Structures are given as C-alpha cells and as structure tokens.
Amino acid sequence: MKQHNLERPLIMHIDLNSCFATVEQQARPMLRGKPVAIVNRRTEHTAIVTASYEAKAKGVKVGMKLREARALCPGIIALESDPSKYRYVYHKLLDIMRDYSAHVTMKSIDEGVIDFHHTSADVRGRDLVEIAHEIKRRLREEIGVWMRCNIGIAPNRFLAKTAAGLNKPDGLNVLTSHNIRTVLGELRLIDLTGIAERNQRRLNAVGIYTPLQFLDADVVTLQRMVFKSVVGRWWYDRLRGWEVDDVSSDVKRVGRQYVLERFDLSYEEILGRLHHLCESVGWRLRSQYKSARGVYVYGKTRERQYWHSSTLSSLPFSSDKTIYILARQLFEQAPDQLKEIGIHVYAIEPIIDQQLSLFSDQIVRERQVTGAIDTLNRRFGERTVHSAHTLASGLYVSQKIPFGSTRYL
Amino acid sequence: MNDETFLQERVEVIARFSQGHQPCYPVRFRRASGREIEVSELGLRHPLPTGNKTIHIFDVTDGGADYRLEFDSERLIWHLTMEADHYEAA
C-alpha cells in the first residue's frame, strides 16, 4: 500500500474569489457590499457568469438565468462583462506569482499554481504561509483594496486546489497527510475537482459514497472496478499527495460559441453570426501559429435538440475565409429554431510554410492576404478589417471571457 | 437593470503622476457643463490596447457616483465615458 507523500508542501494554488464580480466592485466602489452579477449580455435569458458574495449569500449561483436570480435577490445589479479589465487583473496576478517562482501555471483567468520545488533558496527558505499572506497583501496594494483570494498549499496540485476551495472568501489552508482525513471528512464526492455526477455514480456503484471512503479504497478497486483504467491509479496517488497533474496539454481544438441575441433571426442573419465566429476562431488559431484540417459546427434548438456536423480536409487551413466556407457548407443541414451556434476547428498542426501542394499558388495567396489583414488588425485594433458580411453582427458577437484556456489572454 | 449612462464627453483632468503602484492618479475633473468632480478613490486603472495605441481606463468615484475616465495616450486627451450615479434593482 502506497503511503502519503510526506514531503514539505511546496505547491500553492491561488484562486481569485468571485473574480469578475470582485474586480467590478474594486473598479466601482459604489458597488461594494451590494449583490452584483456579471453577465455577457443584459437580457432576461442570459446566464450569470459570476456572482458577488453578496449575491451568492442570497442563493444566486453561477449559470443561473438573470431572471431567476432576480427572483431570489431583487436588488441584484447586473453588469456586462468587461474582459479587458479581467485580463489586466490576470496579468497583475501572474506578475506577482512569478516573483516567487519561474514555475507558474495559470489554470484559467482567475486561478493559478506556483510550484516552489525549483525556486531560489531564499524563497524556499521562507514559510509558505507567510508568502501566502504576502501575496494577499500585494493583491490589495497592487490591484486594489477589495481584491481577495483563496490560497491552498499542499504537496500536489490536486490537494492544493482542494485546500484553496475551503473557507471562501479570503481563505488560506494547508493540506497535508496530517489533516487530510479531517478535511475530506467534511466534503462531498462532488466537491472534489474532477468528480462530477458521472464519476460519482461510478464510485457509488462500488460502495464509495464519501471522499474518506474514496481515500481508503485500494488501488485495485479504483483501477479495475471504478475507472477501469490507469485513471484509478492516478486518483489513488492524487489523494495521497503524489503529483500526477503536472502535465501540459497541446491545443487540440480552437472554438467559439454564441447564444443568439434573438430567436427570430433569419437564416442569413444567423450565417452572419457564424461567419463572425469563424473570424474569431481563425484569429485565435493563427495567434498560436497553428493551422487546422477539421471543422465542426453545432447548433442547439429551443427544443433542446443538439445538432452537429463536421468535415476533415486533406490540406491544412487557417484563413477565416476557408473556415467559413467549410462551416457554411456544414451549416446547410442545420435545423430551424436555433438558439445557440458554435464552431471549432480540430486536427490542429503547426503552420509549416513548406507544406504546399498542387494548390500552392492559391494557398500562398490566401496566406498572404490573411497575414496582411492580421497585421492591420494588430496595428489598428481587432476587427479593423473584417468581412462585410459580419458588419451587422459586430455589435453582438464581441469577444467575451475565455474560460478555461489562458492561451488568448 | 442599473443606472449606467454611457458618454463620450471631453473633460479636463488634473492628474498626479508619481511613483508607486498608481503612477497616474486623476485628482479632479471638470465636465463640459463646468461641474467639477473631486476624485475620492481610484478604483482600478487598466490599459485597453487598441492596435498599437493604448487607452488607459480609470474607474473612479467621488463617493456619490462611479465614473469611467479614458486617457488616450497618443492624443493626450481625456474623455468621460461612463457615469453610474446609483444602482437600482436589476
């Protein structure tokens, strides 16, 4: 039986509390202490992206419709998201974290991990709890007095994140083999990052109903009966403080989605929005110096039906025009009554100039035009040059907060 | 929803430039109407890159309302672009 990892905890997870709402309350002092919801669009049907702690105290949850939130909390103030503000705070947080270690990984726009294993002797010689307090103080001094964060310190990334989820807001917790049973004893399975309903059902099926039972389960049960793969071994190690999550992932797909601003848009108007999404996806793809070979489009109807279609090309592409041509062909089969559309490109590979074929002239010309447009947009601002077809959609389909990946921040 | 008013009003601003985390701090500004507003707190300053140009956005308050001032670092001019004097139920 493998023992707990007994080394000094050197992983620190930092999570900005209710990030976007807190940043708005920082920026606008009159909002402090009031229930605030951040939405991507101020309509009745819009979903809440972030709620302030004052709103959460009234039962408002992320993902809830604004209308439902208003029923629970009549005084709630809805603000449209302001990505440039959050991007700035993200970079300030990143700068602070990098002062302590070169090994910093941002997990999303509002949370990141500092690995102190390979940092300087001066930093390693310090008490990490003291550094955590210092980071909290620096957030308040360098960004603003309203900024708060939760910090977790543990021997591995999973336990550090778990610790950062305790005592919100403004918590600071250290999770080691000494207190893991106490902490896990107070949590539910679905409180653990990576355990959602499906994994919970798998665990329940073998009689595991609590995190403590999960911790006590043997590796054979987890590997052969619960997860039926090496994932079971990873969970066994993860819960004991051994690192299994220090992995970087390559870009596998680049995409965007959009909930239609009205449900009575004509097919041509919806195509305009799809085209706009294709331009965003192309811009993101090329910003990573990547091309793709596949396009996947989907639509969700008002009757909750999910439609999708995809195509794989033999040649790589990265221009907005090609992405849109392929997406539009697929979209001809889309159902009526759409309320949401989305596109992503896949089979991602690096852009290689030598990779030319019989169609090289056409590809080179298209690449040069796309490159010229990108140069203009970088110099004069995003969407200075774009298709005339997306003129009407620019007001609605503007860039919103990129959750998950921090590649485009 | 709330009482935000979006504007594009040229304003005159007295700002303090100094060392520290807030190297530029708008202290007072005069609106087109002649009304002067004393800034009691700078909530947040953040840059908004627009191509090669950067606009600096200052969210400030006078204790009674929140304001958004934008400084065009290329043309060296200030605009008041948002005023939110109180917030009502959404």
Domain with A81 in it: what CATH number? 3.30.70.270
Do residues A105 and A210 both lie within one domain?
no
The DSSP H or E segment spanning A232 is: helix A231-239
Do residues A329 and A352 both lie within one domain?
yes
Instruction: Give B1's contacts in chain A (Cβ within 8 Å).
Output: 42, 77-78
Other beta carbons within 10 angstroms of residue A74's beta carbon come to 11
Assess A37–B contact: CB distance below 8 Å, yes or no: yes
The DSSP H or E segment spanning A281 is: helix A267-287
Do residues A294 and A377 both lie within one domain?
yes
A170: phi > 0 → left, psi -120 to 50 → alpha, else beta; which? left
> Sign of dihedral through CA atoms A226, A230, A231, A236?
positive
Phi, then psi, of A254 in degrees rounded to 5: -130, 125
Do residues A83 and A210 both lie within one domain?
no
Do residues A82 and A231 both lie within one domain?
no
> Are residues B61 and A70, on separate chains, in Cβ contact within 8 Å?
no
DSSP letter at B21 equals S
Q: Are A246 and A280 in contact (CB under 8 A)?
A: no
C-alpha distances (whole Å) from A318 to each of A346, A378, B65 are 11, 17, 47
* The pLDDT of residue B6: 92
> What is the biggest distance separating any 2 CA atoms in chain B, rounded to whole angstroms?
40
- The CATH number covering residue A265 comes to 3.30.1490.100
Is residue A301 in a domain? Answer: yes
> Are residues B1 and A84, on separate chains, in Cβ contact within 8 Å?
no
Residue of A nearest to B87 (CA): A77
Res. B90 pLDDT band, cuts 50 70 90: very low
Q: For chain A, how many structural domains are there in total?
A: 3
- The CATH number covering residue A195 comes to 1.10.150.20
What tens digit of pLDDT does each residue of B43-72 get?
999 999 888 889 999 999 999 999 999 999
**Would you give the end-to-end CA distance of chain B in angstroms?**
4
C-alpha distances (whole Å) from A238 to each of A4, A189, A229, B25 are 10, 14, 15, 47
DSSP letter at A65 equals B
> What is the biggest distance separating any 2 CA atoms in chain A, rounded to whole angstroms?
66
β-pair partners for B26: B15
Assess A74–B contact: CB distance below 8 Å, yes or no: yes
SS3 of residue A201 by DSSP: helix
Do residues A15 and A159 both lie within one domain?
yes
Instruction: Give B49's contacts in chain A (Cβ within 8 Å).
Output: 381
Is residue A23 in a domain? Answer: yes
Assess A337–B contact: CB distance below 8 Å, yes or no: no
Other beta carbons within 10 angstroms of residue A282's beta carbon come to 25
Do residues A223 and A261 both lie within one domain?
no
Do residues A121 and A243 both lie within one domain?
no
Assess A253–B contact: CB distance below 8 Å, yes or no: no
Is residue A408 in a domain? Answer: no
Is residue A399 in a domain? Answer: no
Is residue A55 in a domain? Answer: yes
Compute and round to an integer the Cα radius of gyration of chain B. 13
The range of the structural domain enclosing residue A231 comes to 177-248
d(CA A192, CA A151): 16
Amino acid at A31: L
Q: Are A310 and A295 in contact (CB under 8 A)?
A: yes
Residue of A nearest to B67 (CA): A28
Residue with tokens 């403080």: A241
Is residue A401 in a domain? Answer: no
Looking at A114, A147, A176, the residue that finishes a domain is A176
List alpha helices for A120-230, DSSP H.
121-124, 128-142, 157-164, 180-185, 197-205, 211-216, 219-220
Phi, then psi, of A211 in degrees rounded to 5: -60, -35
d(CA B11, CA A108): 37
Instruction: Give A85's contacts in chain B (Cβ within 8 Å).
Output: 44, 46, 57
d(CA A59, CA A71): 10
Is residue A395 in a domain? Answer: no
Q: Are A297 and A330 in contact (CB under 8 A)?
A: yes
Do residues A164 and A27 both lie within one domain?
yes
In terms of DSSP bridges, do strands B12-17 and B24-30 run parallel, antiparallel, or are they unpaired? antiparallel
Do residues A105 and A171 both lie within one domain?
yes
* The pLDDT of residue A399: 63
Q: pTM of the predicted model, to two decimals?
A: 0.84
Do residues A197 and A139 both lie within one domain?
no
> Are residues A26 and B43, on separate chains, in Cβ contact within 8 Å?
yes
Minimum distance, in Å, between the CA of residue B5 and any CA atom of chain A: 13
Question: In which residue ranges of chain A is pLDDT below 50?
Answer: none
Six-digit token string for A322 = 């090609």
Contacts of A176 (CB under 8 A, 6+ apart): A9, A154, A155, A159, A241
Amino acid at A176: T
Q: Is the pLDDT of residue B1 over 60?
A: no
| Closest residue to A88, CB basis, from B21, B47, B63 | B47
d(CA A226, CA A206): 7
d(CA A340, CA A45): 12
* The pLDDT of residue B89: 46
Instruction: Give A384's contacts in chain B (Cβ within 8 Å).
Output: 51
Contacts of A121 (CB under 8 A, 6+ apart): none
Tell which of A31, A77, A99 to mutate to test the B interface (max B CBs under 10 Å).
A77
Do residues A206 and A261 both lie within one domain?
no
Looking at A142, A158, A176, the residue that finishes a domain is A176
* The pLDDT of residue B52: 83
Tell which of A19, A28, A91, A376 to mutate to test the B interface (max B CBs under 10 Å).
A28
Instruction: Give B72's contacts in chain A (Cβ within 8 Å).
Output: none
Residue of B nearest to A141 (CA): B21
